[in-house]
Structure 1
């Protein structure tokens, strides 16, 4: 059917509405013009009007754009005209990025996704690229659209295209990275032996897509049996590159994913040998508390290996000497955790950490002092470290803590450490000040609350510790 007005009229009117976008009546008139073009216009006008709408979408009100969605989706049912299909996919792609994802949600609730997926297998060239970019935006700007794609066999289509196509792989990887944030999709990828595609998605494309893929790798790694598969697929070097060169968000995601993979006992050295220890130390020095927590957790895992522990301890000592408060607190946490390992009895002392820890008991930052007191309480469970602590002047400083108005946790840690010192006769005169302290004697009930007593010490054959020290953390 012929158009009641020429296409140039539509374009001129649309541009006029753009210039007067503050007037909602004008936008309503523009919508009516577009509706007329779609319902009454010829194919050329439909294409021209739809492309114009796509270009104007960033300026138009969201409620007006929402009205156009059913009209544009309807154009996807015009299989005999590739130009109309391409224009409608392009326009939906533009709309999906508007309105904080609300329009992507609206489009996802329509029949657009099944229509796009049905068209994909029989298309190529520009039309195929337009369809894929539309799908990419739909799953990027609204999470639940990923489930709609997966439930309509979209994942199988994407994987099939990845296995056969080279021209559009970057777009396919972006779609895959979004789909893989869904648990069912990750399990399908694992069971269908397509994990290498997920790893490659973290290795190429835009930062947001690579970050999603790295997050999906970390989530997939929570399945113990998936970790060796991820390693075989090359996940470690890819994640290391993201941790080294990514933006702050990407570094957090990649660092966490690497930690998940490293939690397999067979992978600790593989991760460490990739040169990640300085990268996690850098993350620990950052200002992001989440990044610091990730760094602490992963450094504790890597320190299970004695050679790694020696390297890590050297970095931690440097942080204790001159790092920011958050980095100091994190470094102390790693040392405290390392004290549970068999080899830590020499590693911590040989690194020169003990005198610095004792000095940090006088730090102005309460959080640092609390962490340090906890580490000293833990270290004092071991005879060699206990002697080193006493020789570094820890006992009088701990007694002084009891005199100050300090938080309960700090005092509890100080009392626990002093109990450990007081029960070691090899320290001789160094512990006399403990037994002579009325304040300490009055606080012995704290020891009972922590499950310690003089009787438990008397029954200890070597009197080296009140702690049950495991040889390594619980690794999967």
Structure 2
């Protein structure tokens, strides 16, 4: 079969079985030049060919790459095979890439990657990128055969567009824990930070996800911050698509889990971006924003800005956003440095107004925030002045939700213990739910006091027993 016969195949009206037979004939008995031209034609036709036919061809292409004896030649046959594999792997939703991975196609690609250069190396990089993007087993093969070291070595050599392909390979590999450990061990986390800042959106999302997983250990978190990860993640949260905003927002929350980094994150202008997530339609975004706000608010300067956004959302947001804002305020009300700023923000009258919301989640979270605020004398006064007491009594007696009734009862117990307000809650004192909550709080306080005494005794004993601690 001549090359002209192959070129004469009409891509729109093709007998694919006949075409496969012609291809196999050329690959078995044709010259190397004919074989290369046949594979080039196959690569062009691969976007039209039936997947079943391509599955039958894949083993032959991998077999060509398994011929390592050609390393001293120009490797034209292997280059054509790699290019053809890349075109086939790009077909569809990744099913053919997974088939190549199942047949261990990543292994010869990786071998040739470390024994090639120039145009052949670029073809191998592109092919490998498709495999690790779609195929978990290919990622494992690359990671388990010094692939991380090979990619890092190439990253130190390339500065052009090929570098983006390498960074995308790295971001896919970094989803594996062993690869993240290797990057940390090799001092190469800078490449992962770079991968989060450029390339395709999917690749940047993977890099952000890996950064979030890496940021849990304190040492790695410090290294990432020193490498400039905070502004990179902020850019992803600001400019990314919906998924990237979630992934980057979560990763920033992990990085923020240290008071010094919490301040840095807060200073980056990110709080308004989390407020947007809190007001967005995605429940996952709301959950991430709630968690990160609670982390960032540990730094007092962050708590001021966060509270301002929460007040605005409680005034203007939809029901879901109001419920989320109240949930964060419920947590912030337990922070010693935040109680005064919550009160001074003017949010307490808004919370009291929201107690009468028809939305159950809003009532639940707002009543919880009021219960927490009621532990502070000045906040109790602000709640009373805003008219909270009769509303709380009504909620404790008649609300359908048990948690709302419990929250209201908890707040009323604190009012009852305050001489200024005990007369105003006298009608509630005889109610069984009030008594139950009062006894529950007494047990909790007694348990906490006992634990505190035990900790003090243990500390004294340790200091006495261990001379190294004295």
TM-score, length-scaled by structure 2: 0.89
Specify the alignment match of 1:147 in structure 2: 140
Choose 186-195 or 165-174, whichever is displaced more: 165-174
Tell me which of 298, 301, 326 is aligned to 1:332: 326
Give the equivalent residue in structure 1 for 2:458: none
Q: Does 1:104 align with 2:78?
A: no
The equivalent residue for 1:46 is 35
Q: In structure 1, what is the equivalent of residue 382 of structure 2?
A: 388
Alignment check: 8 A CA contact 1:284 1:292 kept:
yes
Aligned residues of 1:35 and 1:71 also touching (Cα < 8 A): no
Give the structure 2 partner of residue 447 of structure 1: 437
Which range moves more in the overlay, 397-406 or 223-232? 397-406
Once the two structures are superposed, what CA deviation does each residue of 1:111-165 show, in whole Å capped at 9, x if it has no partner?
A: 4222112222332332211100001000001122111001111111001111232
Contact 2:416–2:422 (8 Å) recurs in 1: no
Q: Taking structure 1 as reference, are residues 185 and 31 closer, same or farther at Cα in structure 2, changes over 3 Å only? A: same
Aligned residue in 2 for 1:62: 51
Instruction: Write out aligned runs for 1:200-349 (5 A).
Output: 200-349=194-343
Render the CA deviation track for 1:21-47: whole Å, top value 9, x for unaligned: xxxxx3333322222222222223222
User: SS at the partner of 2:77?
Assistant: helix
CA distance in 1, matches of 2:104, 2:271: 49
* Structure 1 residues 108 and 418: CA distance shift in structure 2, 3 A: same
* Secondary structure at 1:13 match in 2: coil
Equivalent residues of 1:284, 1:296 under 8 A apart: yes
Q: How many angstroms apart in 2 are the aligned matches of 1:378 and 1:97?
A: 56
The count of aligned residue pairs is: 443
4+ runs of 1 displaced by more than 6 Å? 454-457
TM (norm. structure 1) is 0.88
Residue 6 (structure 1) aligned with residue 2 (structure 2): yes
Contact 1:14–1:30 (CA under 8 A) maintained in structure 2: no
Q: Over aligned residue pairs, what C-alpha RMSD do you find?
A: 2.2
8 Å CA contact retained: 2:42, 2:84: yes
Q: Any unmatched runs of 5+ in structure 2? A: 450-470
- Choose which of 105, 123, 126 in structure 1 pairs with 2:116: 123
Q: CA deviation at 1:233?
A: 0.9
Change (3 A) 1:259 1:103: same
The Cα of 1:445 is off from its aligned counterpart by 5.1
SS at match of 2:8: helix
Greater Cα offset, 153-162 or 92-101: 92-101
Counterpart CA distance in 1 for 2:74 and 2:27 is: 14
1:427-473 deviation per Cα after TM superposition (whole angstroms, max 9, x unaligned): 254334434xx6xx132354167x2249969xx9xxxxxxxxxxxxx
Within 5 Å, give how 1:402-421 maps onto structure 2. Answer: 402-421=396-415
What is the CA deviation profile of residues 337-360 of structure 1, one whole-angstrom value per residue up to 9, with x for unaligned ones?
A: 111211122011111111111111
